[in-house]
Structure 1
Amino acid sequence: MNAPLGGPTLAQERKLVTSIPGPRSQEWSARKSHAVSDGVSVGLPVYTVAAGGGVIVDADGNSLIDLGSGIAVTGVGNSAPRVVQAVQDAVAQFTHTCFMVTPYDSYVRVAEKLNELTPGEHPKRSALFNSGAEAVENAIKIARQYTKKTAVVAFDHAYHGRTNLTMGLTAKNMPYKSGFGPFASDIYRAQVSYPFRDGALSGAEAAKIAIDQIEKQVGAENLAAIIIEPILGEGGFIVPADGFLNALVDWARDNNVVFIADEVQTGFARTGKMFASEHYGIVPDLITTAKGIAGGLPLSAVTGRQEIMDATHPSGLGGTYGGNPIACAAALATIETYIEEKLDDRAVEIEHTIREHFVRLQDTDARIGDIRGRGAMMAVEFVKEDGITPDPGLTAAIARHSHQNGVVVLTCGTYGNVIRFLPPLSISNALLMEGLDVVAEALSVS
C-alpha cells in the first residue's frame, strides 16, 4: 500500500476509480478476516493510505469525502501541518519514559493549557490518560475519593465507553453491552432531556423529572457524581433543552455531588465553542476530554477543580502510557491550530451549511424527523411517514448509498435512525456541499 502524500498536497476531491470497496481493499478485508477478531467490525471497508483536509484516499486510489473525522477525532484534519511537524520533532527526541518515572515538560504544558481553556476561573488541575473511557473511569474514581460516596448517575441514551465501568454508564445494549456483564455496581440511570421525543418538555421540567428520580431511587447522600455529555453523542446527538444542564449543576452543587461533563466527543471547537459546556453557561466540576485533543494520537484528560482533583492520594492516578510525550506534542500543536485558525468559527459556518441543507429537504420529506446539533456536530433523525417512529432501515440505506458513492458518513442513535455529521474543520465548503448532496441523493432514492 504505497501512500500518496497527505496533508496540504493531497487533492481535495471526490474521485471514484473503482467500486467501493475496490479490489485492493477487498484483498485487505480478506486478510483482516483471517487476522483480526470478528468482534472488531468495520463500517466502510476501504483501506486508507492517505488522508488530509476533507478527504480519505484508499488503497485503490479512490478519494472519499470525509464527514466522520474518525468519530470526531481529526478536527484539525488528518495530517495538519503543525501536528505533523510536532510529532516528527518529538519522535526524534524520545518516544517514551513514562511520566510517573522521569517526567517531561510537554505533559505539564498540556495540563496548563487544559486548565486555562476549560470553563471556569477557579484553580484547576489535570491528569492525562489514553482514551475517553479511561478518562471517564478516572473521573469517577476522583469523584468517589472526594465525596467519600459511591453511587453514580448517568442518563438515558448515554455513551461513555467500552470498559467494564463505562459499559455500565453507557445506555445502549447492542453492540456495546450485550453479553459482557456483569457490570460495575452502584450505577443508576435517569431520564434525559430529548426534545424531539419527550413532548418538548422544557429544560426545567425535564430536569425536575430527572432530579426526582435521583432523589427517590439513589439519594443525594449516596451520590458521588452525575455524568452527562452536554450533547449526547452515540445516543443520537441529542441537544438537551435549555436549562436542563443548568438545573442539574445547581442541584449537584447544593448536594455535594460532583458534576462531570463528558466532553470526549463535544470538546475542542467541535460544537462552535472550545467546549460544549460553554453553550449552556455551565461550569462543570470535572471535564473529560479525548478524541479531538491530539489530532489523531491517543490522549485523554480529566480536568477539574483543584480541591477535587487533588483529593486522590499520590500514585492513585496514572498509567504507563498516560500522557505519552508524542501525543502531548501533538496535543499542543492541535490546540494551537484550533486557536490560530479560529476553527470554532469554522464549526459555526459548517453548522449553518448542514442545517440549511436539510431544512430545505425537510420541507418536502416528512421522513426527516429532526435536525439538531451544534457546530460541526450535526445530525438528522430519520423516521417513518408518521413523523415519529424511528426508521433504522432508511438510515442504513442512506449510509450505504453514501458510502458506495464516496462519502464517509456515520450512523448513531439508540434506535439506529440517526446520521451524524462530523466533518473535519479543515474541510472546504465545496467538498462539504458535495458530500451533503450525495446524502440528499441517497435519501431521494431510498
Structure 2
Amino acid sequence: MSADAPTDPTLRALRRGDLAGARTVRLTGPLDALPDEVFGLADTLEQLDLSGCGLAELPNDFGRLRRLRVLFCSGNRFERLPAVLGDCPELAQVGFRGTGLREVPGEALPRQLRWLTLTDNRIAHLPDALGQRPTLQKLMLAGNALTALPASLQGAQNLELVRLSANAFAALPAWLADLPRLAWIAWAGNPFEGGTAPARAPDVPWSRLEPGALLGEGASGRIFSASWRPGEGEPPQTVALKLFKGVMTSDGLPEREMAACLAVGRHPNLTGALGQIVDHPEGAQGLLMPLLPATWRVLAGPPSLESCSRDVYDPALRLPPAAALRIARSVAVGTAHLHARGLLHGDLYAHNTLWDGTLGAAVLSDFGAASLLPPGSESEAWQRIETRAFGLLLGELLDRCVSEPEDIARLRDLEHACIQADTGGRPLMAEVAQALSGLAGGARSDE
C-alpha cells in the first residue's frame, strides 16, 4: 500500500487529524508498520484493533500508548508476542488469534493482564510470568501445541475461564481443579481425553431435508429452519439445521461440538441433536436439532470487554420468582443430565440459556466447549467446577427477581454453597437439582 494513498478510511481520517481525542480505533490495513499518527492519541486511546492488517511487529515505543486497555492483533503475522506489550501500563485485554505465534516471552505480558486470547497458534510453552498476573481472569489457549501449563498458574486466584481444547496435553494438572474462582473450562481434543462420546442420535440423509431461512450464525456454524421427512409416509417436521463451518473456534474444534450434541440424547432442558447429517452435496457436517418457538430468546448477552467473564443482561429484565426458579431448575436438571452422560458443558452461562420469556421454560444450549469427563473422583472434581458456574447464574437470576422468592434465604445458601472457594465442598449438580426441586414454590419438572 502506498503511504500517500491509504485505502482504509479510518487511516485517512487519522492522518487528517479527524480522530483527535478518540478512545477506540480500528484499522483494516494492509499496513507495513503501525502508523505514527496513532501515538497522537496516546492521551485518550483505550482500544486499538489491528486485526488482519498484515503486521509482523510493533514499534519499540508502543508503551507510549499509556491509556491503552484493549489490543486486538488477530490474523497478523506475529511469531513472537511483542515484548513491548509489557510496557503498556493499563493494557488488560490482549488478542493474538491465528497469527502463527510460537513464542510468548514473559516480559510481553502486561502487569494488568485480565483477558488473554492466543487461540489457533503454534505455542508449545508458556512463561512462568503468566501466573504472576494477579488480575488474570480469562485465558484462551485452544488450538496450540501445549503439553503443560506453568506451575505458577496455581497462584492465579482470579482465573475464571480457561480454554485448552485441541492442544497436546497428556494430562491436566490436578491443581487446576482447585483454583477457587474457576468456573468455565474446556479441554476437548487433547490426547488424554481419548475418543469422543458415543452418539445417541441417528444419521439423517440430506435428501430428506428441505433447508429454509437462516435463523442465526455463530462462530462454529449457521442455523437454518428446515423441513425433515423422518421416514416414508411420515409427516414432515419443522426442525433446526446447523451446518458447521469446520474452523477452529475460541472454544475448540467443531467436530467435538458435534460429538457432544450427538451424545447428549434427547432431554427437555438441553438442545441436543435429533440426528447427524450425512451425504451433504458439498461434504458439510451438520446436525438436526429441535426448533424452539420463535418467541424464545437468550436469557442474556455474552460477556463484554468490560465485564470480561460475566454476561450482560438487559437492564430492564425483571423475573417473577417462579420464572427465575423454573429457569434455574431447568438448567440444573439439564447440567446434571450432561454430567451423568460423562460430559462437562464448559460454557454454562445465561447467554447459552434459551427461555420462553414469560413462564421460565428453559433449555441449555451450545456445546462448543463440551469435554469428556474422566472417570471416578477426578470427574467429580471437574463437575464441581461447573457447579460454580451454575451458582453464579443462580445469583444473577435471584438478583433480577421482581420480589424475593419465599425461600430466598435457602436459595442464597445454595448459591453460596455452589460458588464457595473450597471446591471440594461444593455440591454436585444432581444434588443442586434435587435441592431446587425440594424448595417450596419451586418449579415443577419440565421432563
**TM-score, with structure 1 as normaliser:** 0.26
**TM-score, with structure 2 as normaliser:** 0.26
Rg comparison, structure with higher value: 2
More contact order relative to length (CA 8 Å, sep ≥ 6)? 1
Structure having the larger proportion of residues in helix: 1
